[in-house]
């Protein structure tokens, strides 16, 4: 099957993970958008962290949102990153169908690890599951982008697509939507999340609207090199393509310690990395777990010295995306 048209297995029967009263529980993973050079067009799914979501099917056209752990999430469905995609989905269905969503937020909003995308993707995958998987993955990305519009003012798919498809995805175009799964190598990912909030909307507003041709040429070389590196399994090529001459020089100013983290993690053996999504998290790719853990200790040492609270994760690339949990 053409992977761009990937479909979930359609079945009218009750599913594993769906209880008799029409409830599905899902783990919605974090994602790293941009992958340094691919602003708005490349993204990668993570095994950790994950949001936990519970979704119940309703037989009326209504969306109800609950925040389980006290995050001040907007509860108006049209303003909620899980709600807005479901509003679109039920309006397309045109039947008396709705969903009640409970979100256990583990991926902090404003972290740069795809918090809004996890809510959007988790909601649409679970809803589709409860409906008997009538929508394709591409349809789900189309719905989930409405959640990104709520969060950042712009429909971008570089978090929701990897969250739904798993692995690494290229968004060649969003009008029309053209999503390509790229083979993901077995790399380790180290992430540091300095505890400051950077709103994607703000991190987009500070970007320059024009780029120099010489910078564009360098960026195209890096994007092509990164994709070729993943396709060929050439990790040295992946490492030297993790360079961003357009977005990072502007956004990195918002992240204390960024330059030092990047250079010292590379010295410690990381292949490379940069800002995760719109920041403030920073991610680094490593060939093996020992290096990824060493890289984590370098990040910890830097933020301890700076005196800024942080969380770190050492994880791997999630190849399957949002996971329906077995009851
Ligand atoms: N591509 C988006 C941005 C991702 O960098 O603004 C946000 O997570």
Per-residue pLDDT band at 217 (split at 50, 70, 90)? very high
Same domain, yes or no: 22 and 146: yes
Same domain, yes or no: 109 and 203: no
Please indicate whether residue 202, judged by its CB atom, sits closer than 6 Å to ligand 1.
no
pLDDT number for residue 3: 45
Structural domain that includes position 311:
188-316
Please indicate whether residue 163, judged by its CB atom, sits closer than 6 Å to ligand 1.
no
- Give the highest mean pLDDT range of 18-32, 57-71, 294-308: 294-308
Ligand 1 atom 4 nearest Cα: 277
The active-site residue out of 31, 81, 102, 200 is: 200
Same domain, yes or no: 248 and 275: yes
pLDDT number for residue 70: 74
Please indicate whether residue 278, judged by its CB atom, sits closer than 6 Å to ligand 1.
yes
CA dist 17 → 23, 43, 77, 83, 126 (Å): 8, 27, 24, 21, 10
Query: Is 88 one of the catalytic residues?
Result: no
pTM exceeds 0.85 for this model: yes
Query: Is 301 one of the catalytic residues?
Result: no
Give strand ranges (E) for the chain. 23-33, 42-58, 63-67, 98-104, 168-174, 177-182, 188-194, 272-275, 282-286, 310-316, 323-324
Ligand 1 atom 1 nearest Cα: 40
Please indicate whether residue 276, judged by its CB atom, sits closer than 6 Å to ligand 1.
no
Tell me if the bond preceding 176 is cis, omega within 30° of 0.
Answer: yes
Same domain, yes or no: 37 and 129: yes
Same domain, yes or no: 219 and 95: no
Separation of 112 CA from ligand 1 center, angstroms?
A: 8
Same domain, yes or no: 126 and 216: no
């Amino acid at each position: 099957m053409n992977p761009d048209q990937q479909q979930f297995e359609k079945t009218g029967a009750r599913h594993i993970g769906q209880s008799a009263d029409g409830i599905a529980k899902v783990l919605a993973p974090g994602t790293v958008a941009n992958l340094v050079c691919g602003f708005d067009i490349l993204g990668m799914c993570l095994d950790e962290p994950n949001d936990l979501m519970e979704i119940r099917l309703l037989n009326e056209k209504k969306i109800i949102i609950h925040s389980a752990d006290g995050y001040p999430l907007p509860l108006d469905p049209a303003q909620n990153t899980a709600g807005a995609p479901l509003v679109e989905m039920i309006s397309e269905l045109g039947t008396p169908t709705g969903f009640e969503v409970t979100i256990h937020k583990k991926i902090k909003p404003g972290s740069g690890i795809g918090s809004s995308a996890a809510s959007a993707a988790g909601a649409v995958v679970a809803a589709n599951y409860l409906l008997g998987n009538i929508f394709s993955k591409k349809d789900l990305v189309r719905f989930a982008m409405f959640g990104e519009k709520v969060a950042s003012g712009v429909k971008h798919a570089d978090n929701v697509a990897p969250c739904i498809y798993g692995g690494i995805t290229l968004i060649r175009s969003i009008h029309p939507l053209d999503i390509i799964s790229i083979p993901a190598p077995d790399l380790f990912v180290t992430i540091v999340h300095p505890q400051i909030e950077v709103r994607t909307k703000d991190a987009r507003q500070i970007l320059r609207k024009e780029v120099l041709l010489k910078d564009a040429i360098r960026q195209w070389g890096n994007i092509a090199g990164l994709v070729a590196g993943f396709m060929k399994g050439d990790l040295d090529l992946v490492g030297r393509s993790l360079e961003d001459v357009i977005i990072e020089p502007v956004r990195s100013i918002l992240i204390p310690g960024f330059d030092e983290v990047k250079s010292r993690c590379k010295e410690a053996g990381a292949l490379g990395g940069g800002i995760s999504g719109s920041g403030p998290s920073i991610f680094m790719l490593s060939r093996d777990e020992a290096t990824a853990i060493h890289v984590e200790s370098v990040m910890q040492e830097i933020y301890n010295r700076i005196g800024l609270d942080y969380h770190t994760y050492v994880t791997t690339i999630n190849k399957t995306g949002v996971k329906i949990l077995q009851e």
